[in-house]
Amino acid sequence: MAGLEPSSKVFRCPKCAAHFEPPLDARSECPKCGIWFHKWEKESKRQRARRGEKPEEPGFDEIVKVQKLPENPFVFYGQAATLIFISLWGLLLISKNYHTDEIDATFMHSILLPFHEAGHLIFYPLGEFMRMLGGSFFQVAFPLGVAYAFHTRKADSFAAGVCLWWGGASLIDLSPYIWDALDPVLPLAEGVEHDWVYLLGYFGITDHAHTLSMLVHHIGALLMIVGVLCSSSFLYETEKIKRYLAGRGQKTGDR
């Protein structure tokens, strides 16, 4: 419970399920059953450990987080639909032949291209090497940075997982570009240099373009899968805690 802030609010008692309006402070005492909210999880864990039981009840900090989520059930259905959509879309992207320009014809490439070009502009003042690297770097770093922000600042694992998926899709989108560096055939705008011909040539590893492309593609696919699993786990755990709270509330009403 070290991570629980004194300013956290409790809408429902984790032991007796009493509802509080307005919510009580996390460092206060339940007026109905008498537990101290911030001590309850530690004490219940010790009791279960003495009895040799595995913890089945959610942690107090998890309950507090869930109670901050919107009550609207359409939020859950919208998130579930989003998961199904990005899962199917991810399978489509992974199945594309990264030895050719198949991915360039997808809608995802149209989404990622502005981020790629923005990266070139952002890193332009840092010299030719960073200008050439900037497009690919920013295309991948931006969604991963947003994922980190959602996870650390908002504790929103669902949004973080979707952004991980986005980062994986960015890597998959880059893999044909890297593959093409060995024997360039992809059509580029007039006067535009091939980023990866320059980058791999800079390090003298152009001959390894196909191996690097395969590695980037596989890492991207793995990252997309991890993103979907993170978001799925968030939805599952959230619904489990909501059912637990609803059950506690029902038991309290039956008394």
Determine the pLDDT at residue 8.
66
Work out the number of other CB atoms within 10 angstroms of the CB of residue 80.
14
Determine the pLDDT at residue 185.
84
Determine the pLDDT at residue 184.
85
In angstroms, the CA 231 to CA 249 distance is 27
What averages of pLDDT result for each successive group of 10 residues across the chain (255 residues)? 52 73 77 75 58 50 51 78 94 92 89 93 93 94 94 85 96 94 78 85 93 96 95 82 60 48
Q: Omega into 31 within 30° of 0, i.e. cis?
A: no
Q: Is the pTM of this model over 0.75?
A: no
Q: Where are the domains of the chain?
A: 9-68, 73-239
Q: φ, ψ for residue 143 (rounded to 5)?
A: -65, -35
Amino acid at 137: F
Determine the pLDDT at residue 4.
44
Alpha-carbon 246 to chain mean position: 27
In angstroms, the CA 134 to CA 147 distance is 19
In angstroms, the CA 170 to CA 165 distance is 9
What's the Cα-to-Cα distance from 133 to each of 115, 123, 140, 199, rounded to whole Å? 13, 8, 11, 7
Determine the pLDDT at residue 2.
42
